[in-house]
Each structure stands twice: as structure tokens, then as C-alpha cells.
Chains A and B, each alone.
Chain A
């Protein structure tokens, strides 16, 4: 069954969607969209580094995403105005990555696979890495769930309950870098944030509790992955963007629906 490239693509898309659901909910709640962009764009720089030093793409993107996320987190701890700093960091990382790749001689690299994803090229090993990463993210968020929620509602209330807000921020940072590293092949660096925030935003009207929102976001993401792949197959459209289009449709439907909570 895993021999079929479409089946592997579907399984990869579902893995990313499952992990992106709960994490995306936090990205929405904590207004981390720009933070996500910076982290995701840094992955392109990671690709350049990986190709240049002949290490695995996964290691390169994970390292670059983690470095960017940690750098941005430490900046935000110092109370700098974040919008601008993040905007600069996000686009500088992308630009530096693209420029760096052009310096690489010998290999002719098709960057669009990393910018927009190449889900149909997911192999068995890729699939194993993607699922391992996705499960690690789910385990991490599941383990810290209550503390993360409390910190998101109020850092002061969390501190009063003996929860260290800095530690929980670090957990989210690591989870985000992991999702970026596993999702880059599926939807590409430019659309990773879309996989995080679009299903979560689409889930909001149907949820009355944070848990419900995270689960519904995972469900919508997985459905969008399947629908996008089907559309891509039917209409010969690029797979990653098709998945995001499907998720956006779910969001539009949610806008029209009456709110549950």
C-alpha cells in the first residue's frame, strides 16, 4: 500500500495536519503568526546550509528553524516591539536562504520543492521522519497541555500556580521548529503557517473549549490534506497550495456558520 505515491502523500499530509491542529490553535491564541513565518522562512536558510554541508535536509531545516525561533523568543523576552522585528527576521531569513542557495555550485537545486512543498515525492523514509516528528510534537503539546493553556490565558495566573511561563514558551518554540522541519516537504516553507492558522481559525466557530478547537483543527487539516490531494490529482494543480485552498474553504464555511461558543 505504501508503494503508491498518492497513499504516501496522503499519510504525510495527515501527519502534518494532526500536529498542526493543536499547535496552530496556540499560534492563533497567542498571535504567533509572524513568529511562525520567521521560523518557517528560516528553514529555507536551513536547506541552503544542508545542501552546502551535505547534511540531511531535515537536520538543516530543524536546526535553522530552532535557531530562529530561539533567537526571536529571546528578543521578545526583552520587550522589543515585535511586529517589525519579526517582519524583518522572517523576510531576511527567506532572502538570505534564497541567496545562499544560489551560491551553491555543482548542485542545481529546484528550490520550489522547498518553497511550495513536494508532497508527491515523499518516500518511505521521509514518511517515517514526518510521522515521528508529528507524533513528537503531539506528545510534547499533550504533555504540557494544561500548563500551556494556563500560560496562554494569563502568564500571571500561571506564575501564581507555580508554572514558569518562559519554560512553556520554550516548549511551543521547539514544537514549532519541529513542525516546520516536517512540514517543509509537504506544503513548503511559504505555506507552513497557513497549515497552522487556517485549520485552527476554521475550527474556532465550532468549538466551545480549547480542547475541542485543537481537535477540530486537526480534523479540518486532515480533511483538507485529502481534499487538496484529490483536487491536485483531478485538476493537475500543485499539491501543497491545493491543500491550503481546501483548508481556506473550510474557514469560509465556518464564517457563514452560527457560532457555538
Chain B
């Protein structure tokens, strides 16, 4: 079942196009990752999906009553408003004390209820944002570089939690992430964005596509190979990647993508 669909989505900010003619949809329980360089419209697509930005052209349709949990890239909380973690987690919907405590424990932020939001560290704040998104029992979880400020174990635990949640609740996940190696192993579909949809498909298909390589270089692919070991895949799944079918497909199986990243 489709949760959100965009057709011909175009968003302009003061005459500058952030997205042009994007077709996109996400179904129940699907994990979709957006990749692309800075300024490629990833955050804009997320914000259009959740309804925070109005399309200049095209339409975005959300399933009526869809519950969305959103973890923004950044949230400017300043000193003028006193706000405890507990109060923040109940905006806009109230949640019980035990429910809040359990969720904070789950995201690794146990016991922060009475702390002021502005007094949190970057990593704690990120976890609290995730807790808030999850408390609404979302059918679609939207994560915009949600692991910012988390250390490496924290990042790994974060993606594990997302995978667990999908299994438990069947929530779909739409995320922007720069943790390419982790993301590629945990995602159903990758959408490569650069103002328009460059290519999309299963991770191993996208990373082999010339459009993707043009943006990220071949080095990234070496990193992918640490996680993907199928040798007999076809490439026709990708939008305009027809030419990729005949491409040689180097695999690096070493512990490091060695010189390939240079």
C-alpha cells in the first residue's frame, strides 16, 4: 500500500529550483534512502513528503490519516523558551510518564525527562528527537541525517533500532543519510537525487549505475562491496542505467576500500 506518492514534484525557493519533476512513492514497511550531494534537494523532498513545503508544481498525496514521525536535520531551540524533555515529547500529543520513560530508554536517553532541551548534548538531543518521532507510533518515519552528533557505536545502535522498529511495527522509513556503508546494507531502495531523480533501485543496482558513480565516484563502491557479495546481479533495475548492464563490476573484499577512496 502506498503511503505517500509524489508526481512531477517541483519545488522552487525564490526562483531557484531545488527539485524538478520528481516522481516518488513509498509503500508500507519500505525503507528508502535518499543519497545525493549537498544541495541536491534531499531535505526538500523530505519536507515536501511531510507537507512542510508546498510544491511549486506537481502533487504530493499522503494516505489520509497517515501518522508521520519526523526527525529533522537540525532544530534551533533557543534559550527564550523553557522546555523540558518531558514537555517536548508531549508536543503535540500527550504521552504517559511510563511510556516516555520506556521510549527514552529505548533510544539510549534514559532519565533525561526533567532536563532542559537546550542543556542536552548534540547526541542526546538527536536521541530525544527520535524518541519524540517514535512516540507517535508512526506509520512513516522520516529521518533527515538523524545520526548527526552520534558517535560510532551510537550510529550503529541507531540503525539497528530503526531495523528493529520496522520489524516490530511495520513502519516505513524514508531517510537521508551520509552513512553510506551502513545505509546500503539496511535499505530496500536507494534514490539518488541531484535536483532530479538520477537513478533509483536496490542498493547494489544504484551503486553500480553510472549516474551514481558520477556523483560519488568509484571509491564508494569499494566500500559497498564490504557489505554486498552477490556477483551475479543484473543492472537493468535502474532508471536510465541501461548502459550499465555491460559494465565491469569491481569488488573489493578487503577490510578497507584501500586506494579506491583516494
Interface residues of A (CB under 8 A from B): 28-29, 79, 146-147, 149-150, 152-163, 204, 207-213, 260-261
Contact = CB atoms under 8 A, between A and B. Distances in A.
Contact of B81 (A153, A159, A162, A260): A153
B68, B83, B91, B136 interface centre (most CB from chain A within 10 Å): B91
Contacts of B92: 146-147, 149-150, 158, 161, 163
Interface SS of B by simple majority? loop
Contact of B82 (A161, A163, A213): A213
Contact of B84 (A149, A153, A208): A208
Given A147-B92, A210-B82, A160 B51 contact: yes
User: How would you classify the secondary structure of chain A's contact residues: helix, strand, loop or mixed?
Assistant: helix
A173 to B, nearest CB: 20
Interface residues of B, number: 25
A212 B77 CA distance: 18
Nearest to B65: A162
A149 B142 CA distance: 21
B192 to A, nearest CB: 24
Interface in B67-89: 68-70, 72, 75, 77, 80-84, 87-88
Given A147-B92, A153-B91, A157-B75, A209 B69 contact: no
B51 A159 contact: yes
B81 A154 contact: no
A160 B87 contact: no
A149 B77 CA distance: 12
A197 B144 CA distance: 35
Given A147-B92, A156-B50, A208-B82, 16 more contacts: A79-B14, A146-B91, A153-B77, A157-B75, A157-B91, A159-B47, A159-B52, A160-B52, A208-B116, A209-B82, A210-B82, A210-B83, A212-B82, A213-B82, A261-B84, A261-B116
Contacts of A160: 50-52, 68-70, 142
Contacts of A161: 68, 92-93, 136
